[in-house]
Amino acid sequence: MIPMERPEALDARDPLARLRERFALPSGVIYLDGNSLGALPIGVSERVAAVVREQWGKGLIHSWNDAGWYDLPMRVGDRIAPLVGAMPGEIVVGDSTSVSLYRVVAAALSLRPDRHIIVTEEGNFPTDLYILEGIKQLRPNLEIRAIERDVDPASALEGAAALVLTHVDYKTGLVRDMKRLSTAAHQAGALAVWDLSHSTGVLELDLHGGGADFAVGCGYKYLNGGPGAPSFTWAAPAVVADARQPLSGWFGHRDPFAFDATYAPAPGVRRFITGTQQVLSLVALDEALKVWEGVSMRHVRAKSMAQTERFIERVESGIAESGGGEGELRLVSPRDPAVRGGHVSFAHANGYAIVQALIAEGVIGDFRAPDLMRFGFSPLYLSFAEIDRAADALVQIIATRSWDRPRFTKRRVVT
């Protein structure tokens, strides 16, 4: 085996290394869960506190105009646009990803009134499947064609109104080919709806070049917007003017303060807002997104691939050398970095306890039932030295079976 380059050398020439100091991570923690809840960027606490104290406390109702609260969903969207290959004015931010997905899928269906099939995959993130089920409740003739893991979604599109997929699989990290699948959807007469929750902020994305019609994504993962941060919605210029979404609330109205009795959608993507936006959450996300100013997504993706690659190699070679646990640990993520997203999953029958033992050593990953250990690598705040320490800790815990203690095996609610 070719010896690995020293991590210090990699860190020294990492163009993103300087961003680490923009985050308030506790010392002694190696945080490999930024794909689940991003770390706290410095400045967010102060900004939120100032908005509460000054804009709410003193500005009161006038802050809707004077502090720009009204435009926040679009302004925050403009910060996300360059990360996903969208243009200014094409993204609106608000509500959870689940709600945003409901709105765009329903809008896609309304653009294909003669069709009654949604193609998705059974391994999709559960909330995405639950949302589709909820849409079906209102449209009992809708068929939800959830394909099995190894079936090519392109082969199941006949008669479909929409293809609804997650770009990076939350379990395995597999990256879907947005362009190929969107094109296949269009050839079949369907619209392409993408959930970018596990891709935004870690992959190079190109919504325009990728041929997507609608996209939604999560604000609290690699975007670091904080727990329950609002999600984003993008609609292609070609479809947005005719898109109608069913959660037609007053803030998505063309003129909310006219108090018209009938709904008329705002022009552009703003129509995907429902009610009054979550101002404090939007402010937190707005501040968190400042970290991305001047950051090249090409650098982010290159570092992410290098880090996931190094982690896999170091874990697998460490286990092989220790002679313990080999065969019990199985890489579930793709080996090819080109189709692997920002996280790495290993399966192990004792995965839950192993993750707990790692957390006790300050290495924070997570566990997804039944047996997946998931490690997310946020290139903005992780060093190569930390990758090595985390991999070595994992090898050590497996090789010595130090996970095999009651305090690590007892399950808690959030895993």
The residues of the shown chain that bind ligand PLP, judged by CB under 6 A, are: 96-98, 125, 127-128, 166, 170, 195, 197-198, 218, 231
Determine whether 352 is an active site residue.
Answer: no
Q: Smallest distance from the beta carbon of 218 to ligand PLP, in angstroms?
A: 5
Distances (CA, A) of 255 to 61, 70, 100, 249: 18, 12, 21, 11
What DSSP state is assigned to residue 6? Answer: P
Q: Smallest distance from the beta carbon of 181 to ligand PLP, in angstroms?
A: 15
The active-site residue out of 23, 31, 220, 272 is 220
The active-site residue out of 195, 286, 366, 388 is 195
The active-site residue out of 221, 271, 301, 310 is 221
Q: Smallest distance from the beta carbon of 353 to ligand PLP, in angstroms?
A: 25
Nearer residue to ligand PLP within complex by CB, 98 or 383: 98
- Determine the Cα–Cα distance for residues 290 and 223; give it in Å rounded to an integer: 10
Determine whether 374 is an active site residue.
Answer: yes
DSSP letters spanning 135-172: HHHH-TT-EEEEE-TTS-GGGG-TT-SEEEEESB-TTT
Return the C-alpha torsion angle 89, 92, 93, 97, nearest 10.
-140
Q: Smallest distance from the beta carbon of 302 to ligand PLP, in angstroms?
A: 23
Nearer residue to ligand PLP within complex by CB, 100 or 356: 100
Q: Smallest distance from the beta carbon of 6 to ligand PLP, in angstroms?
A: 34
Nearer residue to ligand PLP within complex by CB, 227 or 370: 227
b/e sequence 112-123, b meaning 16+ C-beta within 10 Å: eeebbbbbbbeb
Q: How many CB atoms lie within 10 A of CB 45?
A: 14
Burial class (CB in 10 A: 0-12, 13-18, 19+), 369: exposed
Determine whether 221 is an active site residue.
Answer: yes
Determine whether 220 is an active site residue.
Answer: yes
Nearer residue to ligand PLP within complex by CB, 202 or 319: 202
Return the C-alpha torsion angle 296, 297, 302, 305, nearest 10.
150
Q: How many CB atoms lie within 10 A of CB 239?
A: 16
Nearer residue to ligand PLP within complex by CB, 128 or 287: 128
The active-site residue out of 23, 374, 377, 384 is 374
E strand segments, 305-361: 330-331, 343-347
Cis peptide before 140 (omega within 30 of 0): no
What DSSP state is assigned to residue 55? Answer: I
Nearer residue to ligand PLP within complex by CB, 225 or 325: 225
Q: Smallest distance from the beta carbon of 99 to ligand PLP, in angstroms?
A: 7
The active-site residue out of 23, 102, 125, 377 is 125
Closest CA to 205 of 36, 74, 80: 80
Determine whether 410 is an active site residue.
Answer: no
- Determine the Cα–Cα distance for residues 128 and 341; give it in Å rounded to an integer: 19
Catalytically annotated residues: 125, 195, 220-221, 374
